């Protein structure tokens, strides 16, 4: 695996991961049915939010696009080969993991440059880009706004962060996105991802639409 340090970011192009080929399983693979290219995904803890990002990344690469993955850590070393098992090593080289090794503000221009100069970038995933609890600071929201406004509107930007509950009790049993009003005003579509009542499946809410899914080796499978 090649590693390149760029400013405050460690840029990795995942080209040497051993990927085992297997035929695609015949199941109803989940696809996000939304035209929105600005998405804020709020997740319940340990439900597989990273899997959503990797699942969408695999779909983009399957269709000839390029993905930038931004985070404090590399994507899970077990899940990545599972979700990319049907993708050739050449195609998987279009997945670039950019590890933030310092403050996000010092890394932002490198992310913007990569998005605007690498060919065929179709998806940017920012995984755990803010603290896991509490109010998201205004300066971080401003940084995300700058990123969103500095890249093509044709590039889908997926923000993944921990959700929260409503302390007022008005939304009992639900999680919701922190800074929800801010992101709605910025034109983001709000997604939430949590456990189903039986605990074995997951519920993905996209706007007013709710979909039950289960996590499988290859990503997400819609439950009909």
Domain total of the chain: 1
Q: For residue 23, tell me if it sits in a domain.
A: no
At 159, is the pLDDT very low, low, confident or very high (cuts 50, 70, 90)? very high
Query: Which pLDDT tens digit goes with each residue over 5-46?
Result: 444 555 555 444 444 444 444 458 998 888 899 999 999 988
Q: For residue 166, tell me if it sits in a domain.
A: yes
Q: For residue 20, tell me if it sits in a domain.
A: no
Query: Long-range contact list for 135-142, CB < 8 A, 24+ apart?
Result: 135/178, 135/179, 136/161, 136/178, 136/179, 139/105, 140/104, 141/179, 141/182
Q: For residue 21, tell me if it sits in a domain.
A: no
Domain of 41, in residue numbers: 2-14+28-222
CATH number at residue 35: 3.40.50.300
Query: Which pLDDT tens digit goes with each residue over 207-216?
Result: 888 899 999 9
pLDDT at residue 64 in the model: 96
Q: For residue 22, tell me if it sits in a domain.
A: no
Whether 82 has a pLDDT exceeding 50, the answer reads yes
Whether 224 has a pLDDT exceeding 80, the answer reads no
**C-alpha span between 24 and 33 (Å, rounded):** 21
∠ CA 150-9-59, nearest 5°, is: 65
Residue 98 contacts residue 10 (beta carbons within 8 Å): yes
Categorise residue 92: left if φ over 0, alpha if ψ from -120 to 50, beta otherwise: alpha
* Mean local confidence (pLDDT), 131-158: 95
At 79, is the pLDDT very low, low, confident or very high (cuts 50, 70, 90)? confident
Question: Cβ contacts of residue 89 below 8 Å, gap of 6+?
Answer: 15, 16, 17, 19
Q: For residue 82, tell me if it sits in a domain.
A: yes
Q: For residue 185, tell me if it sits in a domain.
A: yes
Average confidence score pLDDT of the chain? 85
Residue linked to tokens 């008005």: 170
Quote the percentage of the chain above a pLDDT of 90.
56
**pTM to 2 decimal places:** 0.85
Query: Which pLDDT tens digit goes with each residue over 161-216?
Result: 999 877 666 665 678 899 999 999 999 999 999 988 877 799 999 988 889 999 99
Quote the percentage of the chain above a pLDDT of 70.
84
The first and second tokens of residue 3, run together, are 């590693």
Q: For residue 75, tell me if it sits in a domain.
A: yes
């Amino acid at each position: 695996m090649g590693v390149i340090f760029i400013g405050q970011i460690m840029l990795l192009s995942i080209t040497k991961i051993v990927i085992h080929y297997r035929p695609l399983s015949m199941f109803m693979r989940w696809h996000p049915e939304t035209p929105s290219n600005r998405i804020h995904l709020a997740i319940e803890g340990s439900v597989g939010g990273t899997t959503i990002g990797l699942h969408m990344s695999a779909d983009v690469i399957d269709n000839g696009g390029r993905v930038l993955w931004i985070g404090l850590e590399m994507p899970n070393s077990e899940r990545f080969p599972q979700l990319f098992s049907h993708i050739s090593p050449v195609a998987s080289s279009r997945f670039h993991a950019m590890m933030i090794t310092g403050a996000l503000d010092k890394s932002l221009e490198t992310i913007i440059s990569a998005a605007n100069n690498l060919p065929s970038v179709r998806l940017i995933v920012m995984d755990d880009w803010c603290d896991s609890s509490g109010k998201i600071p205004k300066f971080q929201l401003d940084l995300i706004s700058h990123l969103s406004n500095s890249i093509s509107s044709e590039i889908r930007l997926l923000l993944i962060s921990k959700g929260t509950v409503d302390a007022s009790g008005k939304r009992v049993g639900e999680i919701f996105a922190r800074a929800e009003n801010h992101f709605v005003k910025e034109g983001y579509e709000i997604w939430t991802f949590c456990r189903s009542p039986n605990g074995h499946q997951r519920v993905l809410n996209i706007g007013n639409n709710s979909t039950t899914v289960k996590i499988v080796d290859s990503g997400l499978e819609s439950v009909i």
